[in-house]
Amino acid sequence: MNDVAEQIVTGGDVLVDTLISHGVDTAFTVSGESFLAVLEALRRKRNQISLITTRHEGGGAFAAEAFGKLAGRPAAVFVSRGPGATNAAIGVHTARQDCTPMVLFIGHVRSTSQGREAFQEIDQMAMFTPIAKAVLQPNNGDQVADVTARAIRLSMAGRPGPVVVVLPKDLTDDPVRKTAIPKPSPRPVVAPDPGTLAQAANLITAAKRPLLLSGEMVATLDAAADLVALAEAMGAPVMSTYRRQDTFPNDHAAYAGHMEINRLPYQQQAIGDADLLIALGSRMDGITSEDGALPRDHQTFLQIYPDPEVLANRQPDFAVLSDPGPACRALVDLLKSPLDSTWRDDLHQAYLDSSLPGAVEVQGAVDLSHVAAEVQRQVPAEAIILTDAGSFSRWIHRFYRFNQPHTQAGPVSGAMGYAVPGAIGARLAHPDRPVIAFVGDGGFMMTGQELVTAVEQNIDLVVVVCDNGVHGSILEGQRQRFGPDHIYSTRLTSPDFADLARAYGCAAWTVETTDGFGAALGSALAHPGPALIHLLTDDRDIAPFDKGPDAV
């Protein structure tokens, strides 16, 4: 009987074999009875695909998002129907807005039970279609391999994103007749039309003050070196779009800073002075585009992107359908001579001056600008820095300098709770690099339990909890709009995070002053396994910008 059973190939078997053959070697899950056959197939192939059990489906999806962002290829996430799928939705939305490849598999009710409001049933298609790149469902077990292969390809094609696959329980439990695995195919290169690119080169040549905006596809498609070559050929400054600082070396003479929620005065002036904005590999998310205020009326807007839907949505003055790398290389060949570098050099100097530790006066005992500089001093350039949602992250964005590709991760969507599980995904994507995650006290209380996952898997990472006891940006908004006597629902009571981390099995340190951070960081980096630094900050030092209506 056992011999016969071992010869049966289930839908779960072909699903896992398809993942492996298409280069998916990392998966995250909160296990469920609706995909037991998949778990059994993963167990048998555990030497070929690593399965990480997280404590919450949202944590698993965040970990997969960070993995996909930094590895440039998707991780898989397996969750159960209804509550499990709902919990994972935050990571799907994050991956969509961040243009990150991911494949989420949802173990669903049996085919014969669909549409009858079975136990934990929801309409997955209706739920995920607005936030996923695609939602797929095989009609029978023989389609499982093809649908899985299609999901992987879709997640990386054009603008990358999350693809959801709904798996009725019987389709993965039952034997399948079609066991052939579709052959993997590389992502096709999107090359620019030569005539279109010649016109783009003419626009660039005619511009007096062109400004390059470096976006997500530069990172995804490893085009940072090509962008550097283009910036040098143009003699133009480069600003990195929101949370994409690792797309251009920050110490390069062309770098003019990060398009943060708050723009520094020199950046506001530069953006206003530019006559040509070139969005290279950026979909122009809401923060980068100032909620659609960019481009301004006097500016020509050139967008280079490999997905026609993005170009149609943004409606630039001039669109180039292309991956950033081929477009940069072709433009370098077409451009005759660079501009005078004075404007570019002045902007870079302004960036350097604005990112010096101590540039912003603080009122509390911890200066996060010096914390960022201390991290810079102690970690190699290839270290990965993650920042959760929250105003504390703006200190890291402003004062830490990213000089190598694939060294930054954070949610463009502003989803709290990203950094701790994201650090797990980052470490699995690049196991030889140090990983440091900055998270607020509010964000840690959402997903900090994933430290247990890191302990269980013996994953080296450092979590810095920036604890000011408040929801900082919201509290600051209350202060500005209604006055300091109208603070409501934004103060937090939290545990001792160092004690909590030790209870999870982590090493931990508490730091109350700027001077105490360096030694704690050195010890945390030297510790084998996960470590946490509980950093007590002051709620008067919300963000490193002048207070005003846009400073929240």
Domain regions of the chain by residue span? 9-173, 194-353, 360-536
Residue 490 pLDDT > 80, yes or no?
Answer: no
Q: In this predicted model, what pLDDT tens digit does every residue of 402-453 receive, in sequence order?
A: 999 999 999 999 899 999 999 999 999 999 999 999 999 999 999 999 999 9
pLDDT at 296: 94
- Cα distance between the two ends of the chain: 66
d(CA 466, CA 167): 40
Residue 457 and residue 52 in contact, taking contact as beta carbons nearer than 8 Å = yes
415: nearest Cα among 58, 83, 69: 58
Q: How distant is the alpha carbon of residue 198 from its chain centre?
A: 33
Q: Residue 207 corresponds to which amino acid?
A: A
Judging by DSSP bridges, how do beta strands 255-258 and 162-168 pair with one another?
A: unpaired
Domains 194-353 and 360-536 share a fold: yes
Name the DSSP class of 429. H
Return d(Cα 23, Cα 152) in angstroms, integer. 9
d(CA 390, CA 366): 17
The predicted-structure confidence for 104-138, as pLDDT tens digits, reads as follows 999 986 676 566 666 666 888 889 999 999 999 99
Q: How confident is the model at residue 541 (pLDDT cuts 50, 70, 90)?
A: confident
CATH of 9-173, one of 3.30.360.10, 3.40.50.2300, 3.40.50.970, 3.40.30.120: 3.40.50.970
Comparing CA positions, the residue from 505, 481, 240, 506 lying closest to residue 355 is 240
Helix (H, G, I), strand (E, B) or coil at 249: coil
Q: Which amino acid is at 258?
A: H
Whole-angstrom Cα distance, residue 445 to residue 72? 29
- CATH number for the domain formed by residue range(s) 194-353: 3.40.50.1220
Strands 530-536 and 461-467: parallel
Q: Is the pTM of this model over 0.85?
A: yes
pLDDT at 278 over 60: yes
Q: What is the pLDDT at residue 19? A: 98
How much is the pLDDT for 282?
A: 98
Q: 164 forms bridges with which residues in the sheet?
A: 104, 135
Question: CA-CA distance, 438 to 535, in Å (whole number)?
Answer: 10
- CATH class in words for 360-536: alpha beta
User: To the nearest whole number, what is the mean pLDDT of the chain?
Assistant: 93
CA distances from 502 to 63, 174, 229, 419 (A): 22, 44, 48, 19
CB atoms within 10 A of CB 356: 11
